[in-house]
Structure 1
Amino acid sequence: MLQAIHHIAVICSDYERSKQFYTEILGLEIIREVYRLERKSYKLDLALNGQYVIELFSFPDPPPRSSQPEANGLRHLAFAVSDIDKAVAHLKTHDVITEPVRIDPHTEKRFTFFTDPDGLPLELYEQ
């Protein structure tokens, strides 16, 4: 029945700040950007290595959502990286704070967490 994950939808509180974070800092590519006048909302379709992965939405005054990693619901969004030290160093040049790198005791792979401009938990996982 299911074939793959098609995309992840993210609602942001400051569209320009989040657009800059996901495109300029994380390096996602813009597929299309649409302003939906009837909803007073932007919809930004983003790709990673040519694959459509994130829809970034803006809405007027979206309510806050608990985003602590142990809250009920989606825990975090993880991105695969080949060199976690290089990825962390890149984030630090943009003043993005990451947690200390840890090692997954089951896979022995290295990973770390950080947040987007709205506090959405994001993870880097070394492949």
Structure 2
Amino acid sequence: MKEVFLGIDHPAIAAKNVTTLTQWYCDVLGYIVAFQTDKPVYLLQAPDKTYLEMMPEDGSPRPQRNTCTPGWSHLALRVSDIDRAIASLDKHQVEWEGPEFTAVGDGRIRNFFDPEGNMVQLVQRI
């Protein structure tokens, strides 16, 4: 029998400034705008062809995030070379959540925050 549930299509970020955050993800993390609406809502595509949606926030208060805050925690991005990724992000002066640590299932991880405070995780699997 053919599988019905195939996997994750895309996560979404509700942004205070959708256009600015979209541009940051494109300029800093290598996404491209695959689709957009007039709202504006953007569907970004990563180099590996996975998607990330950017949509306008509704004005609700934003909780302070750390790795174990209840609910969705972070967006994990797989990288081929975490040292190069960290150096690249240092040039963009990202705020790091803490030091590098070992990934569940093996590998290296480091968390940072995008310009609107969303936690993003770099993952290099071994």
Q: TM-score, normalization: structure 2?
A: 0.85
Q: From 53, 56, 71, give the equivalent of 1:55.
A: 53
Q: From 7, 17, 22, give the equivalent of 2:10.
A: 7
Unpaired runs of at least 5, structure 2: none
SS at match of 1:74: coil
Task: Count how many residue pairs are aligned between Structure 1 and Structure 2.
Answer: 120
Q: From 17, 29, 54, give the equivalent of 1:26.
A: 29
Counterpart Cα distance in 2 of 1:62 and 1:117 = 17
CA displacement 1:9-53 (0-9 Å, x = unmatched): 1100122321122110111111022113xxxxx101101125241
1:117 — aligned with what?
A: 115
The 5 A counterparts of 1:97-116 are 97-98=95-96, 99-104=98-103, 106-116=104-114
Give the drift of 1:74. Answer: 0.5
1:65 — aligned with what?
A: 62
Alignment check: 8 A CA contact 1:28 1:47 kept = yes
Unpaired runs of at least 5, structure 1: 37-41
- Does residue 17 (structure 1) correspond to residue 20 (structure 2)? The answer is yes
Give the drift of 1:3. Answer: 0.4
SS at match of 1:51: coil
Equivalent AA in structure 2 for residue 58 of structure 1: P
SS at match of 2:41: strand
More strand by share: 1
Runs of 4+ in 1 over 4 A off after TM superposition: none
Counterpart Cα distance in 2 of 1:58 and 1:117 = 15
- Cα RMSD of the aligned pairs, angstroms, is 1.7
Equivalent AA in structure 2 for residue 89 of structure 1: A
How high is the sequence identity, in percent, across the aligned residues? 28
SS at match of 1:90: helix
